[in-house]
Amino acid sequence: MNKIALVDDDMIALVDDDMNLVTSVSMTLEAEGFEVETYNDGQAALDAFNKKLPDLAVLDIKMPGMDGMDLLQRIRQKTKMPVIFLISKGDEIDEVLGSRMGADDYVKKPFSQRLLVERIRALLRRQDAQADEIGTDSEETKVMERGELRMDPLRHAVSWKGKAVSLTATEFLLLQALAQRPGFVKSRDQLIDVAYDDQVYVDDRTIDSHIKRLRKKMRTADDEFSAIETLYGIGYKYNKD
């Protein structure tokens, strides 16, 4: 484990068994003003997280022993902190983003370290913005009910037919954006604007993957959940009010 001197309030955990990548990325993050904790396997990271949680974790999807998916599942049992997956170029995005717990974002190897820094900053800005909204009385922070759906932004709580559903920050934002105006279509570009900072590039397939994962999670509460409708070539809409 390598600890870099504290420069910023935000602490990033980097978990990867590739020592060269860990060294290179941690140096870049240090230069950007982050505190960085590095781990070469999932179990070591989990042991450290049980003592102190980072502000954001970057996890390799494939590691010996406890891999990134196993570690993410353990993390999601206690926190909604942002998580970015590092995945190999040949991996299917749907397999990664379609997991039952899910990461907030992903970056494909080999990747631009500048891109990774931008993704990290975007997620941290979004998390800070959500924290700043606590105690305000805006449409974005009021409890919203749409038919069987109930969303409480201040508590990051979602339920369907009275059953709690665990969503990541990205999934929550997408569902909230769709449910705010039932029957109105939102394009993929509009949903990208909702879920991501304007300095971060993502493609349409990323939104499709998030929606696929969101539907899967909602169906854990109701096998017949069909409130999110796809309009092929256009976007998505929420069809229950």
- Position 63 scores a pLDDT of 86
Alpha-carbon gap, residue 21 to 87, rounded angstroms: 13
CA 221 centroid distance within chain: 20
Length of the chain: 241
Per-residue pLDDT, 141: 61
Tell me if 139 is assigned to some domain: no
Total domains, the chain: 2
Exposed / middle / buried, residue 158 (Cβ in 10 Å: 0-12, 13-18, 19+):
buried
Q: Would you say 6 and 35 are in contact if contact means Cβ atoms under 8 Å apart?
A: yes
Question: Is there a single domain that holds both residue 7 and residue 87?
Answer: yes
pLDDT at site 37? 94
Same domain, 63 and 95: yes
pLDDT of 148: 92
10: tokens are: 């935000």
Same domain, 20 and 103: yes
Q: What is the pLDDT of residue 74?
A: 86
The per-residue pLDDT for 198 is: 57
pLDDT at residue 7, as a whole number: 39
**Contact at 8 Å (CB) between 165 and 179?**
no
pLDDT of residue 5: 36
Q: Name every residue whose Cβ is closer than 8 Å to that of residue 9 and which is 6 or more positions away in sequence.
A: 55
- Taking the chain (241 residues) in runs of 10, the rounded mean pLDDT of each run is 48 93 93 92 92 92 85 84 82 49 77 87 78 52 86 85 87 90 89 72 79 92 93 89 53
Domain residue limits at 42: 2-132
pLDDT score of 48: 93
